Structure 1
């Protein structure tokens, strides 16, 4: 590609969004980066049918897959509404729902070297590392473009701590609330 064609190519910032606090933080960071770079913001929600790809081959018919697709599109609308509400993000916004694993879908969507891929790192407890692989690590290892990994908000750690306290019914020590 010659330099003139490269300048005409649409630059994009690709971000994965699921609606978790970490993905919402990544979505806001991606919108800010898209404004700075004068690029389009592509919000991607990767999905797989219930039972994974093997399960869908044997059990799910076209009607069930269409219902899954419709539910994923609605989920993406909810995520964008939660992130931006009535406020315009200030950039051209494209929402994509793609069938596949999150890391592979994000890397495939951001395949141009001029793109920027933004991913949330999320909470990586030992248990989560064993159960679910890191999308951010996959993207950093396989992306053809720069990857911006957005760490979780410190408030998210506090929220998870409160949630654990509630699950285990541990009483709150009021001294923790004092500044």
Structure 2
């Protein structure tokens, strides 16, 4: 299902808000450049491979891979619905960390790697390494970093207020800002 020119646009498809924005940008780039879209979902056993091998209750790898494939299909459905991205595409389920899986998939010089940067607070940055930073540092091809939607930070703010049981005025949500 590869295109004649061999151009590829690679993007992660975890289903996060950042990845959904990146998927839309990647589909636009693939359409604009007549490229094939490769949507990658990286997966690892819970706790990593070493923890899984040492576990008393081993989870079958085939089951974990199947679950990852279902998450990828759900992310594609969330991003594009039944119509799909409107360009030739492939979904790839890759065993490994997200950054490494994306960089290893986008291994040709004329590939374009599209990543969402997402909203990240101090605690999240300390606990979870940034996939976008990893890709920017290690990719052998151009990387397009898609900034988070302004709505993402507003949604996070509303979620925080609700979880802290703070009052929320619904008029704030519809307030028009220049």
TM-score normalised by length of structure 1:
0.90
70, 73, 79: which one aligns with 1:77 = 73
Partners of 2:117 and 2:147 within 8 A in 1: yes
Per-residue CA deviations over 1:45-83 (Å, capped at 9, x if unaligned) read: 00110120111222365x611110111111111111111
Q: Gaps spanning 5+ residues in structure 2: where? A: none
Q: In the alignment, which residue of structure 2 is the partner of 1:128? A: 124
Query: Structure 1 stretches of 5 or more lacking a match?
Result: 1-7
Q: Give matches, 1:1-179, under 5 Å.
A: 10-59=6-55, 61=58, 64-173=60-169, 176=172, 178-179=175-176
Could you report, residue by residue, the CA deviation over 1:14-39 in whole angstroms, capped at 9, with x for unpaired residues? Answer: 00111111110000000000001100
Paired with 2:71 and 2:170, the residues of 1 have a C-alpha distance of 38
Deviation at 1:88, TM superposition (A): 3.3
TM-score by length of 2: 0.91
Residue-pair matches, total: 172
For 1:13 and 1:140, the matched residues in 2 are separated by: 15
Residues 78/174 of structure 1: CA separation in 2 closer, same or farther (3 Å cut): closer
Q: Considering only aligned residues, what root-mean-square deviation do their CA atoms show, in Å?
A: 1.8
Alpha-carbon contact 2:162-2:168 (below 8 Å) kept? no
